[in-house]
């Protein structure tokens, strides 16, 4: 356990967070669901509307600064929270940000393409680039590398935050650190909690949290709710990220068979697309707790938690922690669809 902290401290890190995020109770929503519900408020990480990506970027920007980069590049969905926080961190550190936006969500209106995180990227001074395909991680990375080479030829010192597989999961180190933070906040974590529920997309957050907890000797189940791909694919991705993380840290593979649990029952119709259950999860959480969830990540993760409770995957009365990974600005990008559903509900 001591080695985990020591090893983590050997990686370059730029502090972007204001400190540990709070753990709050959600008594009214918990009562409605029939569980004891806690929220780990990683929407409150402090930089430009916060979110889980701030933790990850402390290590990416640490490496970028160690390499004397003056420009950072990232690719992501149009309403990517990751892209928005990269733009904010770059502005804070006096660097230039180039952000490539991928068309992952079909059929969205003009508001989706101009409001929310897109508006914030522009306010933060990021240089925007478009990538017309939505499910082509390797192609998106190649386009980003080409742009980096052009910037290098122009005299810039670019650092690329990659999207696809085959790269060291530097961002996951942020959630190894979060696992340590969580245990320090709640030393009886494994005895206190029946499960931790988190959105599982790129798997950086899910894998880092799971690996960090297991390395710290904590056996609490970490349940990942799929937000981008089917459970069969997501499970392999999380397992690979955990293995890659062990290699990156030069530590044992603490994650064992059966530790990776993912659920995709509320994924349809696909990434970033609302369904009735996601809307209901967003609405319930807002009206019972005054906590805002987004349609892409946290709303879907809460819908998955609710489905697990209703289906018996989470035992009635069980103490459960939901990791709120942020994403609030994206709510505004979905105004048209959210308004239509609110009006229909009366």
On whether the CB atoms of residues 321 and 196 are closer than 8 A, the answer is yes
Would 2-51+169-345 and 53-161 be classified into the same CATH topology?
A: yes
Question: Is residue 346 very low, low, confident or very high in pLDDT (cuts 50, 70, 90)?
Answer: confident
| CA dist., res. 43 & res. 188, Å (int) | 24
Please give the residue that has the higher pLDDT: either 297 or 133: 297
Q: Is 200 a catalytic residue?
A: no
| 68, 80, 115, 190: the active-site residue | 80
User: pTM above the 0.85 mark?
Assistant: yes
**For residue 146, what are its two tokens?**
């080409």
Query: Which residue in the block uniquely carries the two structure tokens 């933060």?
Result: 124
Question: Is residue 250 very low, low, confident or very high in pLDDT (cuts 50, 70, 90)?
Answer: very high
The phi, psi pair for 64, rounded to 5°, reads: -60, -45
pLDDT at position 164 over 80: no
The proportion of the chain whose per-residue pLDDT surpasses 70, expressed as a percent, equals: 99
pLDDT at position 266 over 70: yes
Question: Is residue 136 very low, low, confident or very high in pLDDT (cuts 50, 70, 90)?
Answer: confident
**Vertex 81: Cα angle to 14 and 300 (nearest 5):** 130
Average pLDDT of the chain, as a whole number = 96
Mean pLDDT value of segment 210-238: 97
pLDDT at position 331 over 70: yes
Question: What radius of gyration, in Å, describes the C-alpha atoms of the chain?
Answer: 19
Mean pLDDT value of segment 254-271: 96
DSSP notation for 228-274: SS-HHHHHHHHHHHHHHHHHHHT----PPTT--EEE-TT-TT-TT--
On whether the CB atoms of residues 201 and 172 are closer than 8 A, the answer is no
Q: Does the N-terminal peptide bond of residue 269 adopt cis geometry, omega within 30 degrees of 0?
A: yes
CATH class of 2-51+169-345: alpha beta
Question: Comparing 123-137, 217-231, 246-260, 314-328, which segment has the lowest mean pLDDT?
Answer: 123-137
- 53-161: CATH topology is Rossmann fold (3.40.50)
pLDDT at position 2 over 90: no
On whether the CB atoms of residues 333 and 118 are closer than 8 A, the answer is yes
289-319 pLDDT per residue, tens:
999 999 999 999 999 999 999 999 999 999 9
Count how many Cα atoms sit within 13 Å of the Cα of residue 127 in the half-sphere of its side chain.
Answer: 11
Question: Is residue 201 very low, low, confident or very high in pLDDT (cuts 50, 70, 90)?
Answer: very high
pLDDT score, position 1? 58
pLDDT score, position 166? 82
- Indicate the helix (H) or strand (E) that contains 71: strand 71-77
On whether the CB atoms of residues 129 and 147 are closer than 8 A, the answer is yes
8-23 pLDDT per residue, tens:
999 999 999 999 999 9
The proportion of the chain whose per-residue pLDDT surpasses 90, expressed as a percent, equals: 94
Question: Is residue 157 very low, low, confident or very high in pLDDT (cuts 50, 70, 90)?
Answer: very high
- Give the start-to-end residue ranges of the domains of the chain: 2-51+169-345, 53-161
Q: What are 37's strand-pairing partners?
A: 320
pLDDT score, position 138? 87
Question: Is residue 127 very low, low, confident or very high in pLDDT (cuts 50, 70, 90)?
Answer: very high
> Of 50, 51, 90, 92, whose CA–CA distance to 73 is shortest?
90
pLDDT at position 130 over 90: yes
37-96 pLDDT per residue, tens:
999 999 999 999 999 999 999 999 999 999 999 999 999 999 999 999 999 999 999 999
């Amino acid at each position: 356990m001591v080695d985990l902290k020591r090893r983590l401290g050997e990686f370059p890190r730029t502090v972007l967070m204001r400190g540990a995020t709070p753990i709050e109770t959600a008594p009214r929503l918990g009562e409605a669901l029939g569980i004891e519900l806690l929220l780990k408020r990683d929407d409150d990480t402090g930089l430009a509307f916060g979110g889980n990506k701030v933790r990850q970027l402390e290590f990416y920007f640490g490496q970028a600064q160690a390499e004397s980069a003056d420009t950072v590049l990232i690719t992501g969905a149009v309403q990517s929270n990751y892209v928005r926080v990269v733009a904010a961190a770059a502005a804070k550190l006096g660097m230039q940000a180039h952000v490539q936006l991928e068309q992952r969500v079909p059929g969205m209106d003009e508001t989706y393409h101009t409001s929310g995180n897109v508006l914030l990227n522009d306010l933060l001074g990021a240089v925007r680039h478009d990538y017309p395909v939505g499910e082509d991680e390797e192609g998106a990375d190649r386009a980003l590398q080409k742009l980096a080479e052009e910037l290098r030829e122009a005299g810039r010192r670019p650092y690329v935050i990659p999207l696809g597989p085959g790269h060291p999961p530097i961002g996951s180190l942020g959630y190894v650190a979060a696992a340590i933070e969580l245990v320090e906040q709640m030393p009886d974590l494994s005895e206190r909690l029946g499960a931790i529920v988190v959105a599982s997309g790129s798997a950086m957050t899910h894998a880092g949290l799971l690996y960090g907890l297991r390395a710290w000797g904590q056996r609490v189940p970490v349940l990942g709710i799929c937000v981008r791909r089917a459970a069969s694919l997501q499970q392999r991705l999380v397992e690979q990220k955990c293995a890659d993380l062990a290699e990156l840290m030069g530590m044992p593979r603490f994650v064992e068979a059966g530790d990776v649990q993912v659920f995709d029952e509320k994924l349809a119709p696909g990434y970033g697309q609302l369904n009735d259950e996601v809307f209901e999860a967003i609405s319930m959480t807002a009206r019972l707790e005054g906590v805002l969830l987004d349609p892409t990540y946290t709303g879907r993760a809460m819908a998955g938690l609710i489905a697990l409770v209703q289906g018996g995957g989470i035992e009635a009365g069980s103490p459960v922690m939901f990791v709120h990974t942020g994403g609030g600005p994206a709510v505004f990008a979905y105004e048209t669809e959210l308004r239509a559903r609110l009006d229909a509900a009366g």
